[in-house]
Chain A
Amino acid sequence: MAKVLMKGNEAIAEAAIRSGCRHYFGYPITPQTEIAEYMAKRMPKVGGLCLQAESEIAAINMVLGASAAGVRVMTSSSSPGISLKSEGISYMVGSDLPALILNVQRGGPGLGGIQPAQSDYYQATKANGHGDLHLIVLAPSSIQEAADFTTLAFELGDKYRIPVMMLADGALGQMMEPVEFKEVNGDALPEKPWATTGTEGKRKKNIINSLFIKPDELEDSINARFERYAEIEKNEVRAEEYMTEDADIVIVSYGITSRICKTAISMARKEGIKVGMVRPITLWPYPNEALAKAAKTAKEFLVVELNKGQMTGDVKLAIECSRPVSFYGRTGGMMPTPEEILDEIRKIGGRI
């Protein structure tokens, strides 16, 4: 189909509908409220349901219920709202239920602000709920990717029976870019023989539950899930390697910030500084191999995020601390300019 001009929030909502998502449960919060607004307008026209719950906690539990019934379902929120959903997300992991959970990040901690941030990196990749758990975490950097990854999130979720988080930010949610929707057959969804759709007396009943009375059964369920995590780590790692072949300095950045870095990289290249970037697309599973490969030739790494350096540790682990890793970031809703990042590149260029 032809390109259209959309806000990130609208494009994600439209892509979800095209991917066969007919159930949306949410609660308003800036800067993602356009999702609910778009869903409220479009869902009735496609025979779907958009429901504004009484709270984020109610919404995520409605997502749990709908997913247990086998349908494609999503919720969206922004940072403080995602914190509220954490308990439900953990219950969904424990029940092996897929769904798309979208975080259009804003500043924190606490009520924080309404401007863009990436300060939920730890939350998304390490601590979105209690227990031994992972979510697949996708980080789009454009409206086109936000639309494409929405479809991908539903596919991966169904394939591995795991909630998938898309980690966007307020800038991606609010800004407008042309987007083209890929042809997806939203009607031909995968069979879910585990779903609680009614036995009609023809099969054994399915039970969706995260409570295990016997400790050994709980351990077995966790081990089985971690076998699936191992498969995900083997098959689903995604990253973009940008001008890394000859790079002395490798920037590691994701989401909207990677776009600013690309501008800074072309400015630095004009000055003769060899700089490139590894852009993690999946924040879990993390692209350890792409970084380890870059570390073979790069002299230094620079992490750039809209937080105080949350991803730095993951970079150090991926390269086994074989190179110095420095950090530049802004917080509070402030965005770095390409010039600010260029200054950091120059500083590193001066000492290597």
Chain B
Amino acid sequence: MTFTKKIIIISGHYGSGKTNIAVNLAKKLVTEGKKVALVDLDIVNPYFRAADNRAELEALGIRCILPQFANTNVDVPTLPPQIHSVFVSDETVIFDVGGDKDGAVALGVYRNAINKAGYDMIAVVNMYRPLTATPEDTLENLREIEDNCSLSFTGFINNSNLGEETTAADVEASLSYAKAIEKMTSLPLIATSYVESLHVTLDTLAMPIRDITKKIY
């Protein structure tokens, strides 16, 4: 799994695990020696978001561009002006885009600059989310996102999981779902991701990740 483009957009249905993938990917790229910026472009989700991991990411030298009011009581979706700086920097930039098609509208604001810089747009999919439980429903969700941001997906990550109850068998059972999406969309499956503590048997394209979701209890 190598990324050569300057802009890497992580999108997909809400709850598919986009933020988990985005934060893990940012950390991976930093260890490969890249200069990395992470843009939290989630204008929908009020609670669980990349901003929860700010301290850890900044300690690694990752520049975090977060909405001014993330995790506060201000219920106003804002796009921080610093976003524009990523298009003139020498950083590899990860966009964590929240909120389905509505969140994609925010991404679309930057489509000209993104097109100019060159991008990969990765869909994160999870067959255990009921509204994307079938390849057909997943495809509908992805097409809505594309329509609303005027950018096209270039690949997808199968992040099928049941939260803390996920077993290796759950992950392995999602492979046929991923293959069906690959066939239906012609998008390449970039990886199947799972929490690193699971002993998952995959032939190729395995992406063990660390669960970075904020724990309440």
- A residues with a Cβ closer than 8 A to B are 3-7, 10, 14, 30-31, 41, 107, 112-115, 170-171, 174-178, 256, 259-260, 262-263, 332-333, 335, 338
Contacts and interface: CB of A to CB of B under 8 A. Distances in A.
Contact of B73 (A3, A114, A256): A114
Contacts of A175: 47-48, 216
A81 to B, nearest CB: 13
Contacts of B75: 30, 114
A275 B72 CA distance: 34
Given A4-B162, A30-B46, A170-B46, 10 more contacts: A5-B15, A5-B162, A5-B163, A170-B47, A177-B163, A178-B163, A178-B165, A259-B217, A260-B216, A338-B217
A171 B73 contact: no
- 4 cross-chain pairs, A with B, having the tightest CB-CB distances, nearest first: A113-B73, A259-B217, A260-B217, A174-B47
A6 to B, nearest CB: 7
Nearest to A2: B128
A171 B47 contact: yes
A66 B12 CA distance: 36
B129 interface: yes
Most buried by A among B128, B129, B133, B217: B217
Nearest to B73: A113
Given A31-B46, A31-B47, A41-B131, A5 B217 contact: no
B45 interface: yes
Interface string B113-148: 000000000000010111101000000000000000
B15 A335 contact: no
B138 to A, nearest CB: 14
Contacts of B15: 5-7, 176
B161 interface: yes
Given A114-B73, A256-B217, A260-B217, A3 B45 contact: no
Interface size bracket, B side: 20 to 34
Contacts, number: 67
A170 B163 CA distance: 19
Main secondary structure of the interface of A (DSSP, over half): mixed
Contacts of A260: 216-217
Contacts of A107: 73
B134 to A, nearest CB: 12
Majority SS of interface residues in chain B?
loop
29 contacts: A3-B128, A4-B128, A4-B129, A4-B130, A4-B133, A4-B162, A5-B126, A5-B128, A5-B129, A5-B161, A5-B162, A5-B163, A14-B130, A30-B46, A31-B47, A113-B73, A114-B46, A114-B74, A115-B46, A115-B73, A170-B46, A170-B47, A171-B216, A174-B46, A174-B48, A175-B48, A177-B163, A178-B128, A178-B163
B36 to A, nearest CB: 27
A128 B32 CA distance: 58
Nearest to B16: A5
B20 to A, nearest CB: 11
Contact of B162 (A3, A170, A174, A263): A3
Interface string B67-78: 000000111000
A14 B129 CA distance: 12
A14 B131 CA distance: 11
B216 A115 contact: no
Contacts of B133: 4
Interface string B151-169: 0000000000111110000
A170 B48 CA distance: 11
A6 B126 CA distance: 11
Given A30-B75, A171-B47, A256 B128 contact: no
A263 B215 CA distance: 12
A176 B163 contact: yes
Contacts of B74: 114
Interface string B29-54: 00000000000000001111000000
Contacts of A7: 15
Contacts of B216: 171, 175, 256, 259-260, 335
Nearest to A11: B130
